[in-house]
Chain A
Amino acid sequence: MQRRDFFKKLGSVTAVAAVMPVMSFAADAQPVSPNKMSYETAVNAITGGKTPTKSSKVSLKVPEIAENGAVVPVTVNVESPMTESDYVKSIHILNTKNGNSRCIDVNLTPANGKAMFSTRIKLGGTQDVVAVIELSNGEFLIASQNVKVTIGGCG
């Protein structure tokens, strides 16, 4: 093989290699989440336009750094007497950047005895986890915390 030919071939190979990743990305377009909902619409749908207030009554326990985004433990604890006249109506757990911003809506009754809920959620990347709480008198409380995710866990 001539030196000139060799360089020509080398050039074509690198050109193909440079184009390939772009093509593969185009073919692998991310499928859209079935219940796509942004964070603002989700909060609006829950509160009905009211602005939730920050309160020290709500404690949201989420790890600050999650190594695996597929399993992030979340615990929400609300100080409440849980009597017939004054109780926590519902606890909503939201995220700010996943395809669907709503994780879970829990409707509680006075028969629970204690306003606490915990579960494990998936996070696609570094974002905030938010808890919106509805009280029986119509008030809304909010608590949020940023979570750093090293490996995303969606899909």
Chain B
Amino acid sequence: MAERKSLIKIKPKRYKDGEVVKVSFMVMHPMDTGMGKDKKTKEIIPAKYINSVKFVYNGKEITNMTVWESLSVNPVFTTYMKINGKGKLTITYTDNTGEVHETSKKIKPKG
């Protein structure tokens, strides 16, 4: 099984067109600040943290975030979003080592 790297959660699960829903984006990421040390080898762990997060819904950017290293390990980003028709929500994150990761979820309003 492939390792789960990120997850998008929408609350409530059933929503109507035009409703404002809660969107949570959870990422598996070490968020190393570059200040921590390995407990055994006493070597400094190099910095690896998320730089930016983007929420794109039907090609339109809803929210973008500039992230610094003070966020916790496996960070969670929770915000609200207005449902505006069928489509796709794509969330992309970039980290300081150049890693880019993309997750998407289908948006299907009912009623």
Contacts and interface: CB of A to CB of B under 8 A. Distances in A.
State the main secondary structure of chain B at its contact with A. strand
Interface string B16-35: 00001000000000010111
Interface string A107-150: 11101111111111110000000000000000000000000000
Contacts of B82: 111-113
Contacts of B64: 107
B109 interface: no
Interface in B53-103: 57, 60-73, 75-82, 84
B62 to A, nearest CB: 5
A155 B33 contact: yes
B10 interface: no
Interface residues of A, number: 36
Given A111-B82, A116-B80, A155-B35, A102 B75 contact: no
A21 interface: no
A63 to B, nearest CB: 14
Contacts of A114: 20, 80
5 contacts: A34-B33, A34-B47, A100-B70, A104-B67, A122-B71
